[in-house]
Structure 1
Amino acid sequence: MHTIEGITGLTADQVNQARERYGRNTFERKKHVPFLKRALQEPMLMLLVLASAIYFLREAYAEGAFMLAAIAAVSFISFYQESRSKAALDALQEYTRPQASVIRNATVMRVPAEELVVGDHFIVEEGELVPADGVIERSNDLSVNEAILTGESMSVQKTAEDKFLYQGTLVNAGLAVCKATAVGMHTQMGRIGKGLQDIEEPPSPLQIQLKGFVRNMAMVGLAAFLAVWGIYFFKTSLLMQSLLKALTLAMSILPEEIPVAFSTFMALGAWRLAQVGVIVKNIHTVETLGSATVICVDKTGTLTKNEMALVGIYDMHARITYGPEDFARATSIIATAMWASEPLPFDPMELAIHRAYAATHPVDARAGATLIHEYPLGGTPPIMTHVFEDQKGNRIIAAKGAPEAFLHAHLPASDLHAANDAFHALASKGFRVLAVAEAVPAGPDLPADQHEFRFLLKGLVAFYDPPKENIPGVLESFYDAGIQVKLLTGDNLVTAGTIARQINFRGTATSLTGEQVMSLADPALQDAVEKVSVFSRMFPDAKLKVIEALRKHHHVVAMTGDGVNDAPALKAAHIGIAMGRKGSEVARQASALILSNDDLSAMVAAVTIGRKIYNNLKKAIRYIISIHIPIVLIVLLPLMLGWPYPEILTPVHVIFLELIMGPTCSIVYEHEPIEQNVMTEKPRSFTKTFFRISELAISIVQGLAITAGLILIYWYSVNHAGSQACVTAMVFVTLVTANLLLTLVNRSFYYSIFVTLMYKNRLIPLTLAATGGLCSILFTIPALRRFFHFELLTGYQFGLCVATGVLSIMWIEVYKALKRHRTAKSLRR
């Protein structure tokens, strides 16, 4: 916390009064549709309501009451899952709330932007979004991008004539202290926002695929419903009985669990990512994480600690490099570097320069000088220049930036060689090196471009930002997971290469500079980015071009960034990753993920969680497909083929099974741990559909195998038992047994069931016990047995059903064993 001279800001009481009078700095959100209203639009609930009504009309009050109870149970499960998802997303919103610097009680503090009130004094600087409408009271070389309001992409210089800033605009350069004049819906952005409230976020590719699958199944269900209703009514002329049979089939076909499972997995996945320090701004990013094939990282703050220490100064005049113990002999260079830095520094290198200046200059010369013009960091290679003026009108023009920008400017050959040698000596130690220069005023007018100054090189300043201790292990984890790592840095090649070798970065033998990237045509660049891993002296356009080339090469690209200039590339990457601590607000806005602690190891955890979520979601949906097939067929085949007992399962049986399957797919599988081999497999292709043909085929065969078991039990019970109650009971027990075992074997399509039984998932035994217990109750309580139209089975009949259910499932273990054998054989080659 610090103060701004002459501005005290509001008191706590004044803040509360302003908030009561003008409201909060938030936009009105689209009204939330009540759960009950949305529930009544669900197809399964509509079918349940219809079935319940038919039962009551037929005076089957017990069945009607059961259907009402089922409606309540289905609604409760949906409500519970939605509540968990909403709670997870609400928790994420807390992480992603934008912050603002505000002056209150004469102190500068950080508060959530939504807490700003009219009358507050807030501070904005380069890389930040303006948090409220306001009038500028103080500013330093301020330029703002107002494209979000005006559509004009060029930055606007804010002058004495144009002193208004608007919420949502981007500060491109400079700094300003403003007084808030409007907040929330009363801002210019708020007025526009009223027309945007009903715009829906577009669905993700996976969401579209799953919605399409559910929609197609719903259409099949509708067609089957009408066909069965018509056929049975034509045969019997029993309207209500025909309708019930048609409803049973429609219920068995409709896979309403899939969209619920998808939303639950994505929301809870985003919440789990937040627990490891990865904030997901859009939950659909979760499904992309497992596909990442390349990650582009910057050096400073990502691979290194971002703890810049001034460790060396090269004096151009004396041709001597001073260490920290001799900085008192380089006071002139330190002073020039300080003049070239921001008066209120936030960059780690500038903070180090200011500390060195304070330690070597007992008298602060800044007190009598005013910054009259600032040339922001720009050019290729980049430099920045400040122009100060003292009370006597004398000007100080100081610049710092990439050594290449100054080394060839007006230097004798001998000085150039000496400076180059000093630069390489410092850079080869992994130091980040900046050149420091000054210029003599050529008149009262300042040039439009800082490169027009005639600079005199004074020396070099070297900073050391040590690599993070965990980075070698993080990189190894990426490599093991089949993910390429590319280093995109603004540093020179010598410094970048030295740091890369220190952290065991692969592929340091070849490199490209930003200028070389820009000079390559698309085909050549696409080939180059596949082979090159180190890119030095990169600037925004070059970074963007590398990202686009990787995308054209069918890579799924993740990229880290923190500055304003990183925003285009972050937006272009499939997974933009901003730094939570040192990242600018615009970088966070452009990104899909935020690393709350700036720790790249969190991305290893994120990829792991992303792959786990994707794999578990796939298991859940394959389970749904497999178990729906036998339910549909055991309802349809006896009816369509005229078998002795066409009404094996009724709506009561189907909804009971649905109540078991819903939590299994969307709650139990969501809790499954990651499998051992997930992080050693290659990333899945982003262009592929959700299921490979082979995966879908296995799930269909699983369903058909269960169906075959049910048909065998059906015909055995018809021929040996006789009564429909016994047939129904035996088919039901076989189906429940197969369902329980399917839950276990589908926990992995690679490892044996005896391995997966060791997986820690407390919901598995809970679900199995609950399902088994409920089924036991149905048979042991006479009233329930009669209600479900079951006959009490003998021990032999029960054992036969269980054995058939087991056999219809356990064949998959042979398939898994063969798959493991093939994998082991290929590894031995």
Structure 2
Amino acid sequence: MTTYNIPNHLKGLTVNEVKVSRERYGYNRMEAIGKNSLLDMLINILKEPMLILLFAISIIYVIVGDYGEALFMFLAIIAVSAISFYQDNRSKKALAELEKLNEPLSTVIRNSEVVKIATHDIVIGDLCITEEGRIINADGRIVHSNDFSVNEASLTGESFSVFKNSDPGNNKIFSGTIAVSGLAVFEVEQIGKQTQIGKIGESILTIKEEISPLQVQIRKFVKWMAVAGILIFLMVWMFSFIRTGNLVDSLLNGLTMAMSVLPEEIPVAFTTFMALGAWKLMREGIIIKRSSIVETLGSTTVICTDKTGTITENSMQLKQLYDYRSDKTFDEKEFANPELAALIDYAMWSSEPVPFDPMEKTLHQVYEQTQRDDVRKDYQMFHEYPLEGKPPMMTHLFGNSEKERIIAAKGAPEAILAVATLSDTEKDKIRGLIREFGQQGYRVLGVAKSGFEGNDFPERQQDFEFEFLGLVVFYDPPKEGIREVFRHIYEAGIKVKVITGDNADTTRSIASQAGIVNTAEVLNGTDVAAYSEEALIPVAERTVLFTRMFPEAKLSVVNALKKKGEVVAMLGDGVNDGPALKAAYIGVAMGNKGTEIAKAAASLVITNDDLEKLVIGIAAGRRIYANIKKAIQYIISIHIPIILTVSLPLFLGWIFPQIFTPVHVIFLELVMGPTCSIVYENEPMEKNMMQQPPRAMIDTFLNLRELAISIIQGLVITAGVLFAYQWSVLNGGSEEKTRAMVFTTLIIANILLSLVNRSFSYSVFDSFKNKNPLFPVITGLTLVLLFAILYIAPATNFFHVTGLDLQELGMTLSVAAVSVLWFEIYKLFRRMKKSTLM
């Protein structure tokens, strides 16, 4: 844990005081408006159109005295509700786990110790510590600060920073604002709904998450199918009533038809796939903020990545020091040389007193190892100029009890050279050295010192007169295995852009070592800013390396790529990455070294900062999207024979017009529901999926060819089912026998279809290699229930069927196999055609 220089008199609350405060004021959270309780979930399930139809049919059966059918319908209501409830609750738990992980920790002083706690555990009276890059999580009064400033745009709309301290009238800070620089300890005065941001609007919590393009398409499809169901219900009801004059039977016919049309499994499947997909990624170390982002992940076309800590190890080994006074370069074995004392000294003083950046930690360690007298405890930092400028630099002012001052600066070499009192010739010589270091993949910082009398410090750090001391040269090697990661990314048809604050030479060297291609052209942040929005689009598209980038430049590149139609994943960890992370389709923050601002702006967080996790996420997105499509195509294909088997015998005036009743349709629905939303969700990724180019975001969830395939599959199964109908009739079969033939053929065809549609490219035998234990479970259970219906007397009587002999069973199996397995021949021809084109 970071060590804080906190005054000894700040003790914080005791355990008992925390307990008393919580009992009196509650937890630090706004009530989760719109979060469903279990009762709310149950009520929402009971509002589903399918269950409303089941209620209506049950009531009709009760009215006409068919109590057995009525009981079955009520049991079906319980079964359908239980399946929906199980899926909804599973999704809800997965999302709750994600939300728990997404909640940031807060740093507080309790019992004189600095501890990290869940933000909702903050109580009134707590002493909270906040620092640069953190979101403030409660309203309070500053009791101690060090060069502290905040951005209060979330409350005031003003984007500039405001300096705060413990002085009355300037000591209030508020939840939801952002610490821009320095550090502050504040006593919590308001939490949860009583904070300023809480009072401004609980309505924030009721804002609905923007739905994805796939959700829009699915909702439209389900809506049109629901409308079709109502129209078909009315048509069948009237047609049947005109033909028979029996109101009740006609109404049951119409309701059966409506049940067969409604594709209520589709939205359930989508919700289940997304929530469980996000939960599975969480177990891989990828925390998803919104479950629908899983869908977008699979469409990623460009990854914009930082260099330090993402491509590299972020170990920042100090390899060399260039001392300007002696005009010598020293390697790591010579750091104890007295000639380097001033350079090492001022490099350390220009770092944070309590370092968290790896480079600054290294500089403190080298100072400890090489300096005879450690005087850090004798000096206090009394003024700070934070890291800023294009390129950036930072300056720290320290003083001791003897009124002696140290003014130390470090930053990008260009920034330090720009403010140093050197001749152009000397600057050119040093620039040559910087290029040499950069070409070896080293990261270089310039170090300078200054002196200043009085307290009327310049507004800008660049206005000090600086003496150039030298260069500190770090090596941050590429991560082990990073070349393999980028190979997978390129194989998946995804482009890579490196967006970094480092210089061009260092970036190019490290990128080449990491296996990034096309690194010849480099664009820096100033060049990016000079382009118009339109002119930047082709430049951003062709350029791979972007160096010396600042927040506005990063945002411009991301927006340019989006305008080109790219689906951009932006990786970042700092406060300055926030705008670009927010603008990208997929903002990716680093979990270990990422600031809270970056994590808040991002849509997903990689907990261990490993870029390979993003590849895993993209693969998961592709798998989930492919499985959603398989589930939907399965639903469409199997609904068509149900609809036509219910309607055609009636419309065509066949001998047994009511071949299916609501009992049979609801049994089929009970088989289809788990298959599409539970079994297909568990389907592994097909081979070579990560060698395919990403899909376009504008693609519909089913294009015309895919929809046509599903419709043809459904029509061929319908032909097979109706063939079984006619075969039975022509062979003198009774209504019960014919119904058994039709019902069995459709159930077997359903099982075979679920297996065949596991892949629309590879054979069913290849698909068996993809282990999915839920398939045999659901298939086995379906067959057990089918044979119970056919051969156990109470079930046979209830479903109005009769048992089938071996010849009849063989016929149903043969018809179902021909109706479904023709698609395997189609897939074989497609594979052969594809192999001849390659």
CA shift for structure 1 position 139: 1.1
Structure 2: which 5+ runs fail to align? none
CA distance in 2, matches of 1:399, 1:661: 68
Structure 1 residue 187, shift from structure 2 partner: 1.7
AA in 2 matched with 1:32: N
User: What corresponds to 2:100 in structure 1?
Assistant: 94
Kindly indicate whether residue 588 of structure 2 is the aligned counterpart of residue 577 of structure 1.
yes
- 8 Å contact from structure 2 (residues 345, 367) kept in 1: yes
C-alpha deviation, 1:569, in angstroms: 0.3
Letter paired with 1:86: K
**Counterpart for residue 550 of structure 1:** 561
Match of 1:54 among 50, 60, 81: 60
Q: Percent same amino acid at aligned positions?
A: 49
Question: Structure 2 counterpart of 1:61, which letter?
Answer: Y
| 1:321 is the counterpart of 2:329 | yes
Give the aligned partner of residue 241 of structure 1.
249
Partner of residue 552 from structure 2, selected from 538, 541, 561: 541
Tell me the secondary structure at the aligned position of residue 670 of structure 1.
helix
Aligned to 1:226: 234
Deviations 1:404-434 (A, max 9, x none): 1122443124422432233223222212110
Counterpart of 2:7 in structure 1 is 5
The answer for the alignment partner of 2:422 in structure 1 is 411
Contact 1:721-1:727 at 8 Å conserved across structures: no
Q: Does 1:619 align with 2:630?
A: yes
Correspondence for 1:19 among 18, 22, 25? 22
The CA deviation string for residues 69-109 of structure 1, in whole angstroms up to 9 with x for no partner, is 10010011111111211121122122212111111222222
Structure 2 counterpart of 1:40, from 46, 56, 80: 46
Conserved? CA contact 2:27–2:120, under 8 Å: yes
Is it true that 1:457 corresponds to 2:432 in the alignment?
no
* Distance in structure 2 (CA, Å) of the matches to 1:28 and 1:363: 55
How far apart are residue 637 of structure 1 and its match?
A: 1.2
**1:586 maps to which of 594, 597, 601:** 597
Q: Which amino acid aligns with 2:111?
A: N
Q: Counterparts of 2:453 and 2:141 in 1: how far apart (Å)?
A: 35
SS in 1 for 2:148: strand
The one-letter amino acid of 1:360's match is T
- For residues 733 and 353 of structure 2, the distance between their equivalents in structure 1, rounded to whole angstroms, comes to 94
The AA in structure 1 aligned to 2:136 is V
How is 1:506-545 mapped onto 2 (pairs within 5 angstroms)?
506-545=517-556
* 8 Å contact from structure 1 (residues 470, 601) kept in 2: no
User: Contact conserved, 1:27 with 1:193, CA < 8 A, in 2?
Assistant: no
Residue 721 of structure 2 contacts residue 745 of structure 2 at CA under 8 Å; is this kept in 1?
yes
User: Which residue in 2 is equivalent to 1:367?
Assistant: 377
**Which residue identity is paired with 1:729?**
A
- Counterparts of 1:763-778 in structure 2, within 5 Å, are 763-778=774-789
The structural deviation recorded for 1:711 is 1.8
Distance 2:185 2:366 in 1: 28
Counterpart for residue 64 of structure 1? 70
Structure 2 Cα separation of the partners of residues 202 and 239 of structure 1: 46
Once the two structures are TM-superposed, the CA of residue 244 in structure 1 deviates from its matched residue by: 0.3
Partner of 1:807: 818
> Using the alignment, how far apart are the partners of 1:489 and 1:203 within structure 2?
32
Cα distance, 1:562 vs structure 2? 0.3
Alignment match, 1:438: 449
User: TM-score, normalising length from structure 1?
Assistant: 0.98
Contact kept in structure 1, 2:503 and 2:548, CA below 8 Å: yes
Match among 501, 516, 525 for residue 490 of structure 1: 501
Segment of structure 1 superposing worse, 379-388 or 190-199: 190-199
Distance across 1 between alignment mates of 2:793 and 2:784: 15
Aligned pairs for 1:386-785 (under 5 A) are: 386-408=396-418, 409-441=420-452, 444-785=455-796
- 1:211-269 CA distance string (max 9 Å, x none): 11111101100111111112222232221111100000000000000111011000000
Contact kept in structure 1, 2:257 and 2:643, CA below 8 Å: yes
CA gap of 1:149–1:81, structure 2 versus 1, over 3 A, is same
1:673 aligned counterpart, secondary structure? coil
Alpha-carbon distance between aligned partners in 2 of 1:674 and 1:39, rounded to the nearest angstrom: 31
Q: CA deviation at 1:723?
A: 1.8
Runs of 4+ in structure 1 over 4 Å off:
none
Q: Distance in 2 between matches of 1:560 and 1:634?
A: 53
1:384 is matched with which residue?
394
Q: 1:29 — aligned with what?
A: 32
- d(CA) in 2 for partners of 1:89, 1:194: 21
One-letter amino acid matched to 1:224: I
Which residue of structure 1 lines up, in the alignment, with residue 221 of structure 2? Answer: 213
Matched letter for residue 352 of structure 1: T
Distance 2:326 2:429 in 1: 11
Match of 1:347 in 2: 357
Of the structure 1 ranges 635-644 and 543-552, higher mean CA displacement relative to structure 2 is found in 635-644
Contact 2:300–2:494 (8 Å) recurs in 1: yes
Residue by residue, what CA displacement relative to the aligned partner does 1:551-605 show, whole Å, maximum 9, x if unpaired?
Answer: 1111100010000110000011100000001000010000001000011111111
Cα distance in 2, alignment partners of residues 5 and 158 from structure 1:
18
Is 1:74 aligned to residue 80 of structure 2? yes
SS at match of 2:206: coil
Assess if the C-alpha contact under 8 Å between 1:482 and 1:681 holds in 2.
yes
Aligned residues: 827
Shift of residue 443, structure 1, vs aligned partner: 5.2
Structure-2 change in CA distance of 1:106 and 1:311 (3 Å): farther
Per the alignment, residue 210 of structure 2 pairs with 202
Q: Could you tell which deviates more after superposition, 527-536 or 675-684?
A: 527-536
Please tell me whether the aligned partners of residues 635 and 648 of structure 1 are also in contact (alpha carbons under 8 angstroms): yes
**Cα pair 2:42 2:85 within 8 Å, conserved:** no
- Indicate conservation of the 8 Å contact 2:410/2:416, yes or no: no
Q: CA deviation at 1:68?
A: 0.6
Moved more, 755-764 or 145-154: 145-154
Name the structure 1 match of 2:111: 105
> How far does the alpha carbon of each residue in 1:123-144 deviate from its partner, in whole angstroms, 9 at most, with x for none?
1111110021111111122111
Q: Give 1:346 shift.
A: 1.1
SS at 1:283's partner residue?
Answer: coil
**Counterpart amino acid of residue 636 in structure 1:** S
Q: Tell me: CA distance 1:197–1:496, structure 2 relative to 1, closer, same or farther (3 Å).
A: closer
Asked if 1:358 corresponds to 2:390, the answer is no
Match of 1:115 among 114, 121, 131: 121
- On the 8 A contact 1:311/1:324 being kept in 2, the answer is yes
Deviation at 1:393, TM superposition (A): 3.5
2:365 & 2:638 partners in 1: Cα distance?
68
**Can you list the C-alpha shifts for 1:135-155, whole angstroms capped at 9, x where unaligned?**
111112211111112222222
The alpha carbon displacement at 1:440 in A equals 2.8
1:795 shift after superposition:
2.0
In the TM superposition, residue 8 of structure 1 has moved relative to its aligned partner by: 2.2
Q: Determine the C-alpha separation between the residues in 2 that align with 1:179 and 1:308.
A: 37
> Would you say the 8 A contact 2:393–2:416 is kept in 1?
no
**What is the CA–CA distance in structure 1 between the aligned matches of 2:492 and 2:203, rounded to whole Å?**
45
- Paired residues of 1:257 and 1:666 also in contact (CA < 8 A): yes
Once the two structures are TM-superposed, the CA of residue 722 in structure 1 deviates from its matched residue by 4.0
Matched, 1:269 2:277: yes
CA distance in 2, matches of 1:192, 1:228: 54
Q: Is the 8 A contact 2:791 2:802 kept in 1?
A: no
Normalising by structure 2, we get a TM-score of 0.97
One-letter amino acid matched to 1:9:
G
